A and B are shown apart, each in its own frame.
Chain A
Amino acid sequence: MGYPDHTAETQPMSMRNVVEVLFGIIPVLDQIKHSIEESTGTIPRVSTQLSNVAQATEMATVEILNVLDRMTARIGTAEETVQQLRDGGGNGGDSLTSIGQALADTRQDAMNIAMALQVQDITSQQIAGVSHMIETVRRQLLEALGHLDPSQVPAQVPGQAPATHFDVNASYTGAGERQQTADAIIKQWNKVDHE
């Protein structure tokens, strides 16, 4: 069995038809190129954002570990002081003072650990930023796919969370400098406000 011969039915395409077809295809190809370019441009930002997440978690973890090291050393010293008191040695008043100071410092360190856990909020905003970027890329690629084969594009693309729900620039580092900037603006603002 051979292939059916349609030669007799097929009209030869004129040069004019070819040009018309090309004129129809070129804008579609441009749109596909545009979608792919935008998607490609977003991917490095996703990568940077993920590096920020890793950097933030590492910094906070190191901070917490440093505080835990200090706490452990301090508790060890306090235990030795308590042991000396039990053995009837050392100066009772001085020992109690040093144990009291160790407890106060440990309370402060516990607070410092709690503060370092703000990293959870910061990284969750950074990750929300990554999800937003990935969703943007998916939409751009679906748009490109739609030009090639509309049947492959789902009728309902799920809604995207607005970018106002998170701060894509959230950072665990440099808060001191940003706070100084904010304080300077507020000071200036209040000065003008009172004049």
Chain B
Amino acid sequence: MSDVKFLVVDDSLTMRRIVVNTLKTLSYTGVLEAVDGKDAMAKLMSEGADFLITDWNMPEMNGLELTKWVRSSEQFADLPILMVTTRGNKEDVIDAMKMRVNNYIVKPFTAQGLKEKIDAILKSVEGKPA
């Protein structure tokens, strides 16, 4: 499991550090970072990733727009996506699910909460036929 390559997208340096440190504690060492959706697109194209963890509200390109781009791209259409955001309204969650994020976590989250969401996504992805 620990060879999964994560791309963590958040305009907040603090949040990126918290997510990256939590991933390292969970023995995931392959982690890339991006400051917004556009940066994430560039990182995906140049370096690739196995798992996307993205914030919603960001300048340039937000997490929902990034998800839309990922799902419509041939190369990354099946990339697991975890949305990590302060937005916790029913409508927000529905909008994110319509864009086909795999799961959704509300900030502030716990390390255990993040682990459970990642595990659940990886389990569901492993269960799918190639």
C-alpha gap A133/B92 in the complex (Å): 22
Question: What 7 pairs across the A-B complex have the smallest Cβ distances?
Answer: A178-B88, A170-B86, A118-B108, A121-B12, A120-B14, A178-B106, A167-B86
Assess whether A116 is interfacial by the CB under 8 Å rule.
yes
Assess whether A115 is interfacial by the CB under 8 Å rule.
yes
* Chain A interface residue count, Cβ-Cβ cutoff 8 angstroms: 30
CB-CB under 8 A from A185, the residues of chain B are: 90, 93-94, 97
CB-CB under 8 A from A118, the residues of chain B are: 14-15, 18, 107-109
A118-B18, A185-B90 in contact; A175/B107 too (CB < 8 A)? yes
Assess whether B85 is interfacial by the CB under 8 Å rule.
yes
Interface 0/1 of A162-195, CB less than 8 Å to B = 0011110111101100110110011001000000
A175-B106, A179-B105, A182-B93 in contact; A125/B25 too (CB < 8 A)? no
Assess whether A130 is interfacial by the CB under 8 Å rule.
no
Assess whether A122 is interfacial by the CB under 8 Å rule.
yes
Assess whether A114 is interfacial by the CB under 8 Å rule.
yes
Q: Is A186 touching B103 in the complex (CB atoms < 8 A)?
A: yes
Q: Is A124 touching B12 in the complex (CB atoms < 8 A)?
A: yes
Q: Is A175 touching B12 in the complex (CB atoms < 8 A)?
A: no
CB-CB under 8 A from B94, the residues of chain A are: 185, 189
B88 to chain A, nearest CB (A): 3
Q: Is B88 touching A175 in the complex (CB atoms < 8 A)?
A: yes
8 Å CB interface, B69-121 against A? 85-90, 93-94, 97, 103-111, 113
Q: Is B87 touching A165 in the complex (CB atoms < 8 A)?
A: no
Query: Nearest A residue to B55 by beta-carbon distance?
Result: A121
7 new A-B contacts, CB < 8 A, other than A118-B108, A175-B107, are A111-B25, A120-B14, A174-B88, A175-B106, A175-B108, A179-B106, A185-B93
CB-CB under 8 A from B105, the residues of chain A are: 179, 182
CB-CB under 8 A from A111, the residues of chain B are: 22, 25, 111
10 pairs, CB–CB < 8 Å, chain A vs chain B: A118-B107, A164-B62, A165-B62, A175-B88, A175-B106, A175-B109, A181-B90, A181-B93, A185-B90, A185-B94
Query: Nearest B residue to A193 by beta-carbon distance?
Result: B97
